[in-house]
Chains A and B, each alone.
Chain A
Amino acid sequence: GAGVSQSPRYKVAKRGQDVALRCDPISGHVSLFWYQQALGQGPEFLTYFQNEAQLDKSGLPSDRFFAERPEGSVSTLKIQRTQQEDSAVYLCASSLFRDYLSRGTQYFGPGTRLTVL
């Protein structure tokens, strides 16, 4: 695969439903990031994995948000009991090395647009 892929590209959920968003990073990339982008705003950091270890989850807005990367490749962002304020584009990014080697170059997927009704 050429780049980071995300699925689904669009998701509509009723308030209170659980959703799962998938990210397939570029093969071999060690670092994986999730960002949330509200309409008209820049992306905001949610969480960071180095291989399977979740090293930073300081950006997760509530305990309804959970992310995992069990085998150090594919990652899933799960949102429980969705609320209208969760409506946003969820972006996944990966980088080849640890930060100091990749020099901050992250490769982003196209995002999943989540709409909560």
Chain B
Amino acid sequence: DAKTTQPPSMDCAEGRAANLPCNHSTISGNEYVYWYRQIHSQGPQYIIHGLKNNETNEMASLIITEDRKSSTLILPHATLRDTAVYYCIVRVVSNQGGKLIFGQGTELSVKP
């Protein structure tokens, strides 16, 4: 699975959009981009995933560049409850085991 690079920390003002970048320059054509987040003292929580098209759900939007070498997770109106570590993961979806390989993630602090 391809390696990802994320900034270690970011701040965001409450109510503003939080844009979390992720570089995955070695991504392969059959690898998806996933985002999970981990709020303090909880297990990771799935947010969104995509292959090459932009995706949106009730939690966030995922923008993947045309060359697929980077992506951005967008939380449109960040709240204090969005304070967490955000993990960008790239992996193949297969018929075999689907383990997730987490990096260090980005610690997002949403401030009032």
A residues within 8 Å of B by Cβ?
Answer: 4, 31, 33, 35, 41-45, 48, 50, 55-56, 59, 91, 93, 95, 98-100, 102-111
B residues within 8 Å of A by Cβ?
Answer: 32, 34, 41-46, 49, 85, 87, 91, 93-105
Q: Are B93 and A104 in contact (CB under 8 A)?
A: yes
Cα–Cα distance between A77 and B76 once the two chains are bound (Å) = 39
- Residues of B contacting A103 with CB < 8 Å? 32, 49, 93
In the complex formed, the residue of A with least CB distance to B104 is A42
Q: Are A110 and B42 in contact (CB under 8 A)?
A: yes
Cα–Cα distance between A59 and B97 once the two chains are bound (Å) = 12
Q: Are B97 and A42 in contact (CB under 8 A)?
A: no
Given A104-B34, A104-B49, are A43 and B44 also a contact pair (CB < 8 Å)?
yes
Cα–Cα distance between A72 and B97 once the two chains are bound (Å) = 15
Cα–Cα distance between A62 and B87 once the two chains are bound (Å) = 27
Q: Are A106 and B46 in contact (CB under 8 A)?
A: yes
Cα–Cα distance between A95 and B102 once the two chains are bound (Å) = 17
